[in-house]
Structure 1
Amino acid sequence: MRLDIFSHSLVLYGTLPYGPLGFWDVWLRVSILRPLKGLDTNLYENLESTFKQEYSNYEIIFSVADENDQALLVAQALMNRYPGVQATIIIGEEIVGVNPKVNNLIRSFKAATHDLLWVLDSGVMVDPGTLARSIDIFTNTRLNKPIGLVHHVPFALIDESKVGSRLEAAFLNTNHAKMYIAINTGGIESCVVGKSNLYRRSDVDRLNGSLIPIRSQMENPHEPIRYGLPAIGRFLAEDNMIASALWHELGLRHDLSCDVARNVVGNMSFWDYVWRRVRWIRVRKHMVLAATLLEPFTESLMLAVVGNFSCRTLFSTPSWAFFPLHFLLWLYVDLDVYTSIAGLSIRQESFHSFLLAWIGRETLAFPIWILAIFGDEVVWRGQRYQILHNGEARLNT
């Protein structure tokens, strides 16, 4: 049997002691970190999915900032139900910055027994084979690039009929997924959402959030605020910053697993959806300005205007023919993306509501972008923040 086939088989069963760059590791043990805050939608099933991983060497660490948090009861119930799975709860946070998720995770990072960490948002549910397949990618030495992070495409599920919930699902499952997969397939720049990320603590410990290659830092010494996860606490988009820092500071690339991070969208109103989109556009504006300014040109309405003008000028194509064909093709591509990541087709009875949400999402994209681009204040988990340069944030009191 060839060594690479043998290694692949062992990885799938969680028994291969082989590291990402060809170095022998300690049996690829993994610490799964799940920061909790409140009773998220579908919380029990989300957390239970980590107890069901088809992988033999992992521990689960739940972390909550408040000892009275109701999520503790759910985590404890699951630990009682699955006594054979090593799981612990850490209560309390360490304030290292404005980002509450980072503050929540600090003690988990320190307490994790293993170097390889899988950080999962509490709103995410994963399939039983997700960890094994992610490890297989992480340790694939046949790739011509060092992998420092494996992540998963978010996929939204709806259990509420609210307008905002349907708009959010239409966004995540079409436009967001399409761009997310395209950017990561091209691999020219970091693009990561932190709902489900696998990376090494020892790599994160070397980051300072400057995005300056580590060799240049040594050649041109400066005084960063700090290193490791505490250095990321000054950013709201900690997921994107960790991924970007791994990419730019350490030269480590990312790879997508074939799995998805399923997220049940809760009760979102229309304005919940609008301000959520505004929040992250404003954060991106200060992290990747050029890409944010070009965002409208990835949307169907803007491209319809540009495409219609071009085809009419070059080929005398009438507008009445161009516009319907443009939007039908756009919808076809988005439906293909949706069904591909969902693994099934949209049911006939659901198509009408999906179509209405899709039209609403496409129509709202440019007005939301305009609203977001002229402003720097965001609201997250009831707190107001001012977004500063490079995506850093300041809590407004």
Structure 2
Amino acid sequence: MWKTLVASIFLGWYFILLAIGLLGWREARKRYFRRNNALTSYSPRARPLEGVSILRPLKGLDPNMYENLETTFKQDYPTYEIIFAVADDDDPCLDIVRMLLDKYPHVDARVTIGEEIVGVNPKINNLMQAYRTAKYDILWVIDSNVSVVPQTLSRSVSALTASPTIGLVHHVPYATASIRDAKFGTHLERAFLNTNHAKMYIALNVLAIDSCVMGKSNLYRRSHVDQISGLGVPLSKQNMSPPPDGPVRGLASMGKYAAEDAKIGHSIWHELGLEHCLDVDVAQNVLGPMTLRGYIERRARWIRVRKAQVLAATILEPLTESVLAGLLACLALHYFTGADVVIMFVIHWCIFLAIDLDVRYHLTGTHFTSNAELGEFILAWMAREILAFPIWAYAIWGSRIVWRGVTYRMLRGGVVERPDRATRHSQDFADGRMQEPLLDNHDH
């Protein structure tokens, strides 16, 4: 009886996973295949749209950076400003920003230089000045390695203002890379973002059971963010006194977390009771050279961040991957029917590959240029799927992450600390006052 029960659970879980994947696939086909036929521009005959402050946190140089930043100057929208947030006045990215300011003098754009230290997260520290001085209530925070089409802002604001129950609009990221500069890790990252990650990200946002936000490109209202604290419970259940009796609120309250994007989305959802909208546009993420080791460390780092935030879901993560879930399902089918496990697994993997390739096509809107490119992508996809469990096993047993030679330890709730200063500064982390940077802004 117990064998039958276990086999039934494996099969049941597999079909749930397959159903979620098919949902993501269907939505990718429906949502992104027709995005170029959606509302394409602002019409003066339409109702007036609110002004928007576009915040782009910058640090160092990214691949394709000039073209990425230029896309925000080309938005087909009547009223917006662009604020480039830079921590240091000697940052090389400022040369690119100045060239764009000279090229587009008619665009309301400026630079803020300097950090306001409110926590461990340098992206938040970098954004504080721009956040406080932005002209408009609607904020569009977009990473430096992301490019968008000219219609993205008009469509996103329309989505944000369509209903008072919408508190955040975001865009699914997809990856591109220069073949000349790409390394093996680059191919793995591109295969991951453009297939399994996109499929599940879309599906989870359609199901809308809970917040699921990645911070490459997000729109929300400053008046909403000013209310959140990161506690994750409705405002009615919080102590609304100002600090020190009550919690820190606003963007500054996110400074103690490693993944501020997910935390902002979670807080808007749970504290304000507002929904999220995954819009029809995409955030094109331009990848640079990444080695295999770099890819492994990157995936492991974010597994440990997720473990600190949602332990149960992270423990179950391997069961959402095609290799382990497919193998268990094939063993269950063998138990019930005697079918050959190897043949069944090959069929299973071909189904998942076909779904992922179609998701990639509708997300990027492009076909492979040659059979060699298709074969290279399939090999990267297979390697990514095979490596998923070993990377998870490596990551799940640790709580420390290494960034730029500095070791940090993840704490419950996504807060971080320096292990060598844990005793002296643990309260500083809890209050959001720790000052050593963990991640640079374009790694989010």
After the TM superposition, list the runs of 4 or more consecutive aligned residues in structure 1 that deviate by more than 6 angstroms: 8-11, 219-222
> For the structure 1 residues 393 and 17, does the alpha-carbon distance in structure 2 shift closer, same or farther, using more than 3 Å as the test?
farther
Is this contact kept in 2: 1:53–1:128, CA < 8 A? yes
Contact 1:117-1:200 within 8 A present in 2 as well: yes
Partner of 1:76: 98
C-alpha contact 1:286 1:391 (8 A) present in aligned 2: yes
2:166 partner letter: I
**Matched-pair contact (CA < 8 Å) for 1:287–1:389:** yes
Q: Distance in 2 between matches of 1:306 and 1:208?
A: 42
Give 1:13 deviation, angstroms.
Answer: 3.4
Quick one: distance in 2 between partners of 1:155 and 1:172? 6
> Could you list the runs of 5+ residues in structure 2 that have no partner in the other structure?
1-37, 421-444
Amino acid at match of 1:194: G
Greater relative contact order (CA < 8 Å, ≥ 6 in sequence) = 2
* Change in 2 beyond 3 A, CA 1:128/1:223: same
- Deviation of residue 313 (structure 1)? 1.4
Contact 2:42–2:78 (Cα < 8 Å) also in 1: no
Residues 342 and 14 of structure 1: is their aligned pair in 2 closer, same or farther, counting only changes over 3 Å?
farther
Asked whether 1:176 is paired with 2:192, we answer: no
What is the CA-CA distance between 1:182 and the residue it aligns to?
A: 0.7
CA contact (8 A) 2:41 2:77 kept: no
Q: Distance in 2 between matches of 1:113 and 1:163?
A: 43
Q: What is the CA deviation profile of residues 130-181 of structure 1, one whole-angstrom value per residue up to 9, with x for unaligned ones?
A: 011111111113xxx7110000000000112201111110111111111100
What corresponds to 1:217 in structure 2?
238
Alignment of 1:297-316 (within 5 A): 297-316=319-338
Share of identical aligned residues, percent? 49
The SS at the match of 1:327 is helix
Work out the CA distance in 2 between the residues paired with 1:9 and 1:164: 37
The answer to whether 1:155 aligns with 2:185 is no
- SS of the equivalent of 2:238 reads helix
Cross-structure match for 1:369: 392
Distance in 1, matches of 2:142 and 2:407, equals 25
1:68 and 1:329, CA in 2 relative to 1: closer, same or farther beyond 3 A? Answer: same
- Give the structure 2 partner of residue 118 of structure 1: 140
1:334 aligns with 2:345: no
Give the secondary-structure state (helix, strand or coil) at the position aligned to 1:12: coil
Contact 1:387-1:394 within 8 A present in 2 as well: yes
Is residue 36 of structure 2 the alignment partner of residue 13 of structure 1? no
Q: Does 1:54 align with 2:84?
A: no
Letter in 2 for 1:323: F
Q: Partners of 1:382 and 1:260 in 2: how far apart?
A: 33
Structure-1 separation of matches of 2:47 and 2:74: 22
Residues in 2 aligned to 1:314 and 1:329: alpha-carbon distance in whole angstroms: 21
Measured in 2, the distance between the counterparts of 1:82 and 1:167 equals 37
Give the distance between the partners of 1:356 and 1:205, measured in 2 at CA: 46
Find the aligned partners of 1:234 and 1:183 in 2 and give their Cα distance.
26
TM-score (norm 2): 0.82
- 1:382: how far off? 4.9
SS at match of 1:54: coil
Given that residues 208 and 224 in structure 1 are in contact (C-alpha distance below 8 angstroms), is that contact kept between their aligned partners in structure 2? no
Q: Compared with structure 1, are the counterparts of its residues 89 and 14 closer, same or farther at alpha carbon in structure 2 (3 Å cutoff)?
A: farther
C-alpha distance in 2, partners of 1:364/1:14? 52
Which residue in 2 is equivalent to 1:200? 221
In 2, the alpha carbon distance for the partners of 1:115 and 1:270 equals 42
Aligned residue number for residue 5 of structure 1? none
Structure 1 unaligned regions, length at least 5 = 1-7, 19-26
The answer to whether the Cα contact below 8 Å between 2:240 and 2:246 also exists between their aligned partners in 1 is no
CA distance in 1, matches of 2:241, 2:133: 33
Give the letter aligned to residue 331 of structure 1.
L
Equivalent pair of 1:213/1:251 in contact (CA under 8 Å): yes
Aligned equivalent of 2:187: 166
Match of 1:148, SS? Answer: strand
